[in-house]
A and B are shown apart, each in its own frame.
Chain A
Amino acid sequence: MFLMSSILFGALAVIIPVIIHLLQRQKPVPIRWGAMQFLLETPLKAKRRQNIDHWLLMLLRMAILALLAILLARPLWRGTRMAGTVNMDVAVVLDHSLSMGRRGGEGGGTLYENGLDVVDKLTEMLPASATVSVVLAEHTPQVVTPLPVTLGDASGKPNANPEWLRLRQQLRHMRPGMTDADIPAALQAARELVQHGKNVSKMILVLSDEQRSNWQIGNAGAWRMALGDRNETAAQDLPIFSLPLAQSGGGPNIAVRAVNIAPEFIGINRPVQITATLTNTGAVDFPAAPVKLIVDGLEIAQQQVANLPAGQSLTIHFDHFFAQPGSHWVKVQADVIDALEADNSMLAAVDVWPKLEALIVDGQLTPAAGPADFRDAQFLLAAMNPAEVTTDSATLISPRVVSVSDIGSIPLENYPLIVLHDVPRVPAETIARIAAHVQRGNGLWIVLGSRTQESFLKDVLAKSPLLPAAIKNSHAAGPQERIGVDIREPTNPMVSLLVAAERNSMAGMAIRQWWPLTPAGPEMRTILATTKGDATDSSGERGGEDPLVTEMDLGGNGGRVVVWATSIDGRWNNLPLAPNFVPLVNETLFHLAGGLSKGQQRQLEAGQTLLWTGPAQQPVESVKITLPDGQSRSLTAQLRGNQYVFSFSDTNMPGLYELRFSPRTIPQPVYYSASIDRRELDPAVISTAEAQWLRERNDLQDRLTPASLPAALVARHTGTELWPLLAFLVLALLISEVFLTRRLVRLQTDIHPEDAGLLPHAHRPTPGLPGGAR
């Protein structure tokens, strides 16, 4: 077998000496010669010998050319060899994903440690001249050996290279990874790496738990991008073997799957409910486990979870108040020793707000000295601030009432919440300004009422993105008609509290007049609606079943618009008198403010970009980010428009990310939490069919077991390269050729007839006598 068989065509060069020989053997020049006796006296043996020399020289030259061509084609001698002498370059792709931290392998170690054991076994099987390269498959492949490392030391003792021993030690000290693993990308890195090896036989060995998601099964694009379209030759030249590291037996495994914090908007001293889902992903039941709630590093509460059967989930709740505003983090941790340690806890970062600034734009056009002068907004104000206004209580919402005529001069940026309270008319440009404000992640509550002008509704508001609905004239219920409130979306945070408290929380509410809206699209959801009326109106239609409270998300930053189609001042309904009015208003406001937390999302999925924004007024010199593994980096924030933006996309490591800023006047620290990649918790492994898919792509040669590894190594032994032997042979032939040529040249050496005594000294040869070739 030849590694570069095309060079064998070079062997055709053997005809060159033949041609030269034949050219030399052209038809002899006839000369009629007198001094035949001296020619005939040439010993016949010598003549024959010269002839033989000529032939021999030709054959030698032919042999040299042929051997040279064969040598350059790099022939291999296939022979059976013991594993200990298999010279090859092995690239090991060692899965360093989170799932490799699972215990339950042989000897109680993690799968990662089992993988290292296999690497050790492998290197023991390889001779001193073999090389090993290691790539850790993580979210981004980590190349441990920049170049393949020869196993033998300087003296040729196998598996004794100090560099390799140090690397092995370093790998041993590594903790299991925290991210997912991109096997195709790691294979790409390994393929590039193994090409630097000097041996002929090469192979890639993937040591992984064969987690389906990491292997990107079905994602032909990823494989093609990593390895290209491999044909069988490529697969032969560089086969990829997988050695699955399976969990033996499989103990119980508790995973904290999700931590939810409600409500979305968290204010200081507001009750917060922390919900965590625990799942036993193991194969056996888990007897009992304490589950802790840790807030900002302090253990706050602990609950005992009793007996979680295999495959079952349960939800546990913690209640908590955040006394301090700012960024906080919450960790729910199952204090157990199980198969996989990494999923025993889960983090969530939250922002706690000290105040919620709300701007109430009242429809009252007359100027007012204070909030109390806005008569119609009193119910709303009271609902926002149920306690005494004067006392410095723990009230969170801080409302400010302005007249609609003043809205042009109010900087909206300071108010994450705007309430358009029964305004008769707002200029279209102001509406556009408000819409842009909402799209940045703020909340808008539009309350339509008796003062609202129909033309404003239909011509301005309905045409703005704030209220994409067809609006009819306000509908008034008949005198005897009783229109109630129908809860259309009980899970909506605005009403969920009321619904949970009592089943018929809206009983007793009567709506007398409203603006019938017909949402233009599904994005506008109806939360509350009027019940169907009994009487028909002037047009003969029965009123009712119109949206009363709608909600709509606006923009991608968490901006929300809530529209009340009926007034809040008690004229069109009796809502302010209802016992649930205050919570309804509060929850509506908090819900609208929920976009705040969405705008700067603190709870990230693995790999989701971390984004922080700050006002432009406060310059950011540098940002120091501390990663879950304790490393920190100093980066800078960019000034974009009217805000500073800091983004960080390498959040594949689950855990807590802490941002600190310089100067220190910027509120800090800011926490972000990244969750474990859900796919990484998916225990699904490659099926036989899926392995077959990889085989058909030539991206996988075979799946091995530790027992079949030596056989695979021996099978990979493609042969011994013969070029050193051939090079020696060519050298020997060259020397012979030189010797023979010199010998023939020596025979042709000019002898001066004088020196041979042919001419008497008295008769010097005439100068200029022709002596050259005739």
Chain B
Amino acid sequence: MTQTLQNASASGIGAIAGASLLDPRALAAIGKMELVASQVMDGYVQGMHRSPHIGFALDFAQHRQYVPGDDIKKIDWRVYAKQDRYYIKQYEVTTNLRAHLVVDASGSMAYQGTADAMSKFRYAQFVTTCLTYLILHQTDSVGLVTFDSVVRDFIPARSASPHLFTIARTLDACQPRDESSIADVLHTVAERLGHRQMVILISDLFDDAGKLLEAFHHLRHQRHEVIVMQIMSEDELTFPFRKFTQFENIETAKSRLKLDPATARATYLQNVARHLKTIRDGCNQLRISHVLFKTNETVERALTEYLATRMGSR
């Protein structure tokens, strides 16, 4: 897959800017899937998404027994005639999805592991493009937010097919740089998006876990469905270094640290594990879907696996 992406990127397929991000194999694999929001969203774009507004929509959903407090108008009198019991008839309304892909373009995303084929940001670009294609394919609307310490690009959600190229071009032009301030950006995003949208955060989440969770909470508070796709390099997860190393902060040139990786490894891994656990636990509490992508895994596999899991949980 990695090889394919690189080939695609290098060949003439990428005549259109951003075309390299649309790897045919990756997109073909994802195209079979459906991106399904587990949470019912309101909206008016017709899609395959369940609507909470049962009653006046088109598709019958189910019968359920009447409980005091239900609207009497919703009682199915035919069933009452047959069974002498009160049932309420429920309908599903398929709503359209408005998704915003929030991509971290901070310096730390530029890290490319020693054994990786691409940097985290490149990986994020692929993931973003794939998701964009998928969402648009579902005739849902999708938008893009890139950020470092501040929001860099903001493309509002649209459902038109050419929107894919707009997003891809924007992504392609984006280079990771500067320090990240994910939590602050998320607060801003939460405020700007309005209500009940899907926010897919694609980031390495290298920020203070507490602040991040606060930001997630804010998003949830705005009734957004949040999917956190955390992208990390294998190196960052296993810290495999042995030689005496000078770690230079990729985001700020000033910060550097000389140390013996072997001795610092345990502490490092504990720190990472604690960070991840905090985020996972927080996400679980906030009913946020959190998934960790590793850059040494192929994009298609990671995405298909994730989506399959998501379909299964429905």
B243 touching A747 by the CB < 8 A rule? Answer: no
Q: Which residue on chain A has the smallest CB distance to residue B256?
A: A30
Q: Of B250, B262, B263, B280, which is within 8 A of A33 by CB?
A: B250
CB-CB under 8 A from B248, the residues of chain A are 30-33
Within 8 Å CB of B250, what residues of A?
32-34, 36
Determine how close the nearest CB of chain B comes to the CB of A51; give it in whole angstroms: 9
Q: Which residues of A contact B91 (CB under 8 A)?
A: none
The verdict on A772 contacting chain B, using a C-beta distance below 8 Å, is: yes
A758 and B259 form a contact (CB under 8 A): no
Q: Which of B243, B269, B297, B309 lies in contact with A751, CB distance below 8 A?
A: B269
Query: Does B114 lie at the interface of the complex (its beta carbon under 8 Å from any beta carbon of A)?
Result: yes
Q: Are B244 and A748 in contact (CB under 8 A)?
A: no
B245 within 8 A of A: yes
Q: Which of B163-171, B188-196, B230-238 contacts A (4 or more CB under 8 A)?
A: B230-238
Q: Choose one: A25, A50, A758; the contact of B276 (CB below 8 Å).
A: A758
B200 to chain A minimum Cβ distance, whole angstroms, is 18
Residues of B with C-beta under 8 A to A649 = none
Chain A 352-378, CB within 8 Å of chain B: the 1/0 string?
Answer: 000000000000000000000000000
Pick from B1-9, B49-57, B104-112 the stretch touching chain A. Answer: B104-112
Contact A747 B237 (CB under 8 A): no
Instruction: Say whether A36 contacts B257, CB under 8 Å.
Output: yes
- Please, how many angstroms separate the alpha-carbon atoms of A763 and B305 in the complex? 10
| A166 touches B (CB below 8 Å) | no
**Which residues 231-278 of B sit at the A interface, judged by CB distance below 8 A?**
232-234, 236-238, 240-251, 255, 257-260, 262-273, 275-277
**A756 contacts B245, C-beta separation under 8 Å:** no
Q: Of A26, A751, A769, which is within 8 A of B266 by CB?
A: A751
State whether A36 touches B255 (Cβ < 8 A).
yes
Question: Inside 8 A of B259's CB, which chain A residues have their CB?
Answer: 39, 42, 47
Chain B interface size band reads 35 or more
- Bits for A739-774, please: 1 = Cβ < 8 Å to B, else 0: 000001001111101001111101100100111111
CB of B204 within 8 Å of the partner chain:
yes
B224 interface residue per 8 A CB criterion: no
Check: A29 CB closer than 8 A to any chain B CB: yes
- Residue from the list B242, B245, B292 in contact with A28, Cβ < 8 A: B245
User: Which of B240, B246, B247, B305 is in CB contact (< 8 Å) with A770?
Assistant: B240
Give the residue of B207, B247, B273, B277 whose beta carbon is less than 8 angstroms from that of A31: B247
Kindly state whether residue B296 has any CB partner on chain A within 8 Å.
Answer: yes
Whole-angstrom distance between the alpha carbons of A34 and B292 in the complex?
Answer: 16
**A43 an interface residue at 8 Å Cβ cutoff?**
yes
Nearest chain B CB to A522's CB is how many angstroms away?
Answer: 102
| B77 beta carbon closer than 8 Å to chain A | no
Q: Which of B204, B237, B249 contacts A753 (CB 8 A)?
A: B237
Tell me if A28 and B268 are in contact (CB < 8 A): no
A759 to B204, CA, bound (A): 14
Could you tell me the distance in whole angstroms from the C-beta of B120 to the nearest C-beta in chain A?
7
A707 within 8 A of B: no
Report if A35 contacts B (CB, 8 A): yes
What is the distance, in angstroms, from A39's C-beta to the closest C-beta of chain B?
6
Contact A757 B246, beta carbon cutoff 8 Å: no
Closest B-chain residue to A30, C-beta based? B246
Q: Residue of A at shortest CB range from B204?
A: A34
B154 adjacent to chain A (CB < 8 Å): no
* Cα distance A50–B237 in the bound complex, in angstroms: 23
| Contacts between chains A and B (CB distance < 8 A), count | 151
Partner of B269 from A46, A756, A760, A762 at Cβ < 8 Å = A756
Residues of B close to A728: CB separation below 8 A: none
CB proximity of B7 to chain A, nearest CB, Å: 22
Tell me how far the C-beta of B216 lies from the nearest C-beta in chain A, rounded to whole angstroms: 18
Contact status A748-B263, CB under 8 Å: yes
Q: Which of A24, A34, A41 contacts B108 (CB 8 A)?
A: A34
Task: Please state if A37 and B273 are interface contacts (CB–CB under 8 Å).
Answer: no
Whether a CB of chain B sits under 8 angstroms from the CB of A40 is yes
Asked if A747 and B292 make an inter-chain contact with CB atoms under 8 angstroms apart, the answer reads no
B294 at interface by CB-CB < 8 Å: yes
> How many whole Å from A214's CB to the nearest CB in chain B?
76
**What is the minimal beta-carbon distance from A761 to any residue of chain B, in angstroms?**
11
A747 surroundings in chain B (CB, below 8 A): 262-263, 266
Whole-angstrom distance between the Cβ of A750 and the nearest chain B Cβ: 8
Which residues of chain A come closer than 8 Å to B264, judged between CB atoms? Answer: 39, 42, 47
A773 with B240: CB separation less than 8 A: yes
> Nearest-CB distance from B203 to chain A (Å)?
11
User: In the complex, which residues of chain A have a beta carbon less than 8 angstroms from the beta carbon of B269?
Assistant: 751, 753, 756, 758
Check if B58 is an interface residue, CB within 8 A of chain A: no
Please state if B297 and A40 are interface contacts (CB–CB under 8 Å): no
Residues of A contacting B265 with CB < 8 Å?
748, 750-751
Question: Given A32-B250, A34-B206, A769-B296, is A748 in contact with B262 using a C-beta cutoff of 8 Å?
Answer: yes
The smallest C-beta distance from A248 to any residue of chain B, in angstroms, reads: 82
Q: Is B67 close to A, CB under 8 A?
A: no
Chain B residues in 8 Å Cβ range of A774: 114, 240-243
Report the minimal beta-carbon distance from A741 to chain B, rounded to whole angstroms.
12
Any A CB within 8 A of the CB of B16: no
Nearest-CB distance from B276 to chain A (Å)? 6
Q: Which residue of chain A is the closest to B112 with respect to CB atoms?
A: A32
A35 touches B292 (CB 8 A): no
- Assess whether A35 is in contact with B206, with CB atoms less than 8 Å apart: yes
What's the Cα separation between A769 and B238 when bound, in Å? Answer: 10
Q: Chain A residues with Cβ under 8 A from B297's Cβ?
A: 763, 766
B109 and A763 within 8 A (CB): no
Contact residues, A715-757 vs B (CB, 8 A): 744, 747-751, 753, 756-757
Contact of A36 among B115, B247, B294 (CB under 8 A): B247
Contact of B266 with A34 in the complex, beta carbons under 8 Å: no
Chain B residues near A31 (CB, 8 Å)? 241, 245-248
User: Which of these, A32, A50, A763, contacts B294 with CB under 8 Å?
Assistant: A763
CB-defined A-B contacts under 8 Å, sample of 13:
A28-B258, A34-B107, A34-B108, A34-B120, A34-B250, A36-B108, A38-B268, A39-B257, A42-B259, A751-B269, A756-B272, A766-B296, A772-B240
